Amino acid sequence: MSKIVVVTGGVVSSLGKGIAAASLGLLLKSRGFRVTIQKLDPYLNIDPGTMSPFQHGEVFVTDDGAETDLDLGHYERFTNASLTRSHNVTAGQVYDSILSRERRGDYLGRTVQVIPHVTDEIKKRILGLGLATEADVLIVEIGGTVGDIESLPFLEAVRQLKLEHRREVVFVHVTLVPFIKAAGEVKTKPTQHSVKELREIGIQADILLCRSEVALDSEVREKIALFCNVPTEAVIAATDVKSIYEVPLVFHEGGLDDLVVEMLGLPDKGVMPPDLSAWQSFEARVTRPRRQCEIAIVGKYTHVRDAYKSVIEALVHAGSANDARVHLRWVESSEVEARGAAAVLGDVDGILVPGGFGERGIEGKVAAVRHARETGVPFFGLCLGMQVATIEFARSVVGWADANSSEFDPQSEHKVIDLLADQANVTDKGGTMRLGAYRCALRAGSLAARAYGRPEIEERHRHRYELNNKYAQQLTSRGLVLSGKCVGRELIEIVELPDHPWFLAVQFHPELKSRPQDPHPLFRDFVRAALERRVARVGDDNYDSAVERVVEKAEA
């Protein structure tokens, strides 16, 4: 079986368990081990697909069409792997599977209970993934915070795994060591209580990752070790950093990967220390860039940045590829409706309209597209961004003033965005979605084909409505280039404008496949166009940390 590292969190949520799991995966993979990562989510939804972005943030879609937790995005980006639906397990999935078997009579009349039936199902999914992937190490992150009632079955399941496979399982606990400014010192009591609560469940943490604003001195680490029953070297500082991409380097310096290798008895694969040179080079470009530009993200959920997590990271990767810092200006689309596009977007170097669902704020997005098209600002549309770009072109260039999507105006005469015929009578929301990876053929010589450098691509989708082929000929006759089509189906995937500095919109989600050391080509070229726009606009794109401080203050 695979060796298992269980990552839990205590005190408060959002301590960075996902980044910690992903960082450990990167370190172990850099040492030559086969690594995979699984997220166990305690909520009762089957998946986050129908959850509001305000509640859950981004839905990360895998190649096989699973709608999963955004932490899987971190896992993929840090370990450069493509994950599947088996890598995200929810309590809803577990209970759904058990109750379906109970209704079929599979339990032969026995009482169905949390122990052993629920815990056995959880263990089966953990061990099954290790066998399927043939991983040397399976990292399992348990969502939520120790003490939450929802997490108890998952914690009990991994407690049993430790009992059954004592030398094959290590527990890593992420906790908080707050710095109290009034007292001028850090406080270890929250960590002590968190570890105590974990021990009451029957789990002894092997390694502590202590989140803190300030560095932890040896005295503090020794105190934590004593009260939490771990060796001092197993108390590792997780000090706040400027970029999440610094975290693996901080953990390596703290000895995390060495400890895990030793505790699990993993064989030396010959990479000692791990080769992190490429990652260090990438991190240096992220934190110490030479150039800069500012891109506006015109969205509907901009108050919840996690709703656009993969978009943010794809722009970081693209900025690194261009040795630049991409400053993000968060623009709520309703603000564009209220104040006008020129007032809100007149001084940015690029405009990106991301995905989303629902009618709210659509006219602001349409106005943002029109501003980009008419003023020559580089424009990039993602999913809904492609749909509103098509709507804007149909209205402003073709002349169909009522052009719209049937999602927003079912009575429109020119529904340039519409459901497919076989979707019309489906009542299950998820049943009408196009999810996962689809192949796309690119038009030779197009902006998209030049960016990708090949005639055919494969990208991940998450949407319900499509460009209506009924209007394709009229749109192209007025200058809209349909530069990407789904292989095997008459579905338009990419639109662009040839007489614009950089104007391209896609039906899929390219941000999901961007990687730190392999930036997505469309994001890379979009940022390059924004940098060129900045030089033309202000005569300079040199990085100025003072500008960053002003932008960060405005964002805050």
**What CATH number is attached to the domain comprising 315?**
3.40.50.880
Residues 391 and 461 reside in one and the same domain: yes
Q: Checking phi first, is residue 413 left (phi over 0); if not, alpha (psi -120 to 50) or beta?
A: alpha
pLDDT at 52 over 90: no
Q: Residue 2: CA atoms inside 13 Å, Cβ hemisphere, count?
A: 27
Strand partners, 179: 186
Query: What's the pLDDT at 546?
Result: 59
Query: What are the distances in angstroms from CA 415 to CA 153, 465, 466?
Result: 49, 11, 10
In a domain, 405, yes or no: yes
Helix, coil or strand: residue 449 = helix
**Placement of tokens 């969190």 in the chain:** 9
With contact defined as beta carbons under 8 Å apart, do 467 and 417 qualify? Answer: yes
State the chain's maximal CA–CA distance in angstroms: 77
Residues 429 and 449 reside in one and the same domain: yes
Residues 550 and 85: their CA atoms lie apart, in Å, by 41
Residues 450 and 532: their CA atoms lie apart, in Å, by 17
Residues 86 and 36: their CA atoms lie apart, in Å, by 11
Query: What's the pLDDT at 357?
Result: 85
What value does the mean pLDDT take over residues 472-499?
A: 95
Residues 463 and 531 reside in one and the same domain: yes
| Mean of per-residue pLDDT scores for the chain | 93
Span 145-162, pLDDT tens digits: 998 999 999 999 999 999
List Cβ neighbours of 297 (8 Å cut-off, separation of 6 or more). 308, 311, 328, 329, 330, 331, 352, 353, 354
Of 281, 302, 323, which closes a domain?
A: 281
pLDDT confidence of 324, banded at 50, 70, 90? Answer: very high
pLDDT at 377 over 80: yes
In a domain, 352, yes or no: yes
DSSP string, 163-228: HHSGGGEEEEEEEE--EETTTTEE--HHHHHHHHHHHHHT---SEEEEEESSPPPHHHHHHHHHHH
pLDDT at 382 over 70: yes
The CA dihedral of 387, 391, 394, 400, to the nearest 10 degrees, is 140
Residues 277 and 294 reside in one and the same domain: no
**What CATH number is attached to the domain comprising 64?**
3.40.50.300
Rg, Å, the chain Cα set: 25
Query: What's the pLDDT at 430?
Result: 47
Residues 363 and 249 reside in one and the same domain: no
Residues 282 and 278: their CA atoms lie apart, in Å, by 6
pLDDT confidence of 555, banded at 50, 70, 90? Answer: low
In a domain, 414, yes or no: yes
List Cβ neighbours of 491 (8 Å cut-off, separation of 6 or more). 466, 467, 469, 485, 507
Residues 298 and 276 reside in one and the same domain: no
Residues 258 and 305 reside in one and the same domain: no
β strands within 45-157, DSSP E: 60-61, 67-68, 88-90, 137-142
Sheet holding 434-442, edge to edge: 324-332, 291-299, 350-353, 379-382, 503-506, 492-496, 481-486, 434-442, 456-463
pLDDT at 545 over 80: no
Range of the domain at 397: 289-550
How far, in whole angstroms, is CA 210 from its chain's centroid?
Answer: 24
What value does the mean pLDDT take over residues 224-245?
A: 95
pLDDT confidence of 318, banded at 50, 70, 90? Answer: very high
Residues 14 and 99 reside in one and the same domain: yes
Span 340-364, pLDDT tens digits: 999 999 999 999 999 988 888 899 9
Structure tokens at 50: 């129908």
Residues 103 and 212 reside in one and the same domain: yes
Residues 275 and 297 reside in one and the same domain: no
Three-state secondary structure string covering 482-549 = EEEEECCCCCEEEEECCCCCCEEEECCCHHHHCECCECCHHHHHHHHHHHHHHHHHHCCCECCHHHHH
pLDDT at 551 over 60: no
Of 253, 281, 309, which closes a domain?
A: 281
Q: Residue 476: CA atoms inside 13 Å, Cβ hemisphere, count?
A: 14
Structure tokens at 97: 């599977």
Residues 163 and 272 reside in one and the same domain: yes
Q: Residue 263: CA atoms inside 13 Å, Cβ hemisphere, count?
A: 24
Containing 397, the helix (H) or strand (E) segment is none
Structure tokens at 108: 């032969």
With contact defined as beta carbons under 8 Å apart, do 144 and 150 qualify? Answer: yes
Query: What's the pLDDT at 499?
Result: 93
In a domain, 555, yes or no: no
Q: Measuring CA to CA, which residue among 205, 214, 206 is closest to residue 177? A: 214
Q: Interhelix angle for 256-264 vs 17-30, to 10°?
A: 70
| Cα–Cα–Cα angle for 306, 191, 14, rounded to 5 degrees | 5
Of 234, 262, 281, which closes a domain?
A: 281
Q: Residue 120: CA atoms inside 13 Å, Cβ hemisphere, count?
A: 8
Structure tokens at 520: 């997505």
Residues 318 and 177 reside in one and the same domain: no
Share of the chain above pLDDT 90, in %: 86
In a domain, 556, yes or no: no
Q: Measuring CA to CA, which residue among 136, 38, 19, 20 is closest to residue 87? A: 38
Span 252-283, pLDDT tens digits: 999 999 999 999 999 876 556 788 999 999 99
Span 387-423, pLDDT tens digits: 999 999 999 999 999 999 999 999 999 999 999 876 5
Residues 348 and 214: their CA atoms lie apart, in Å, by 35
Report the catalytic residues: 383, 509, 511
Q: Where are the alpha helices (DSSP H) in 205-307?
A: 218-228, 247-253, 256-264, 277-287
Q: Measuring CA to CA, which residue among 515, 521, 433, 519 is closest to residue 82? A: 515
Structure tokens at 245: 């991409």
Tally of structural domains, the chain: 2
pLDDT at 549 over 70: no
Please tell me the pTM assigned to this model. Answer: 0.93
Residues 330 and 333: their CA atoms lie apart, in Å, by 9
Residues 220 and 235: their CA atoms lie apart, in Å, by 10
How far, in whole angstroms, is CA 172 from its chain's centroid?
Answer: 22
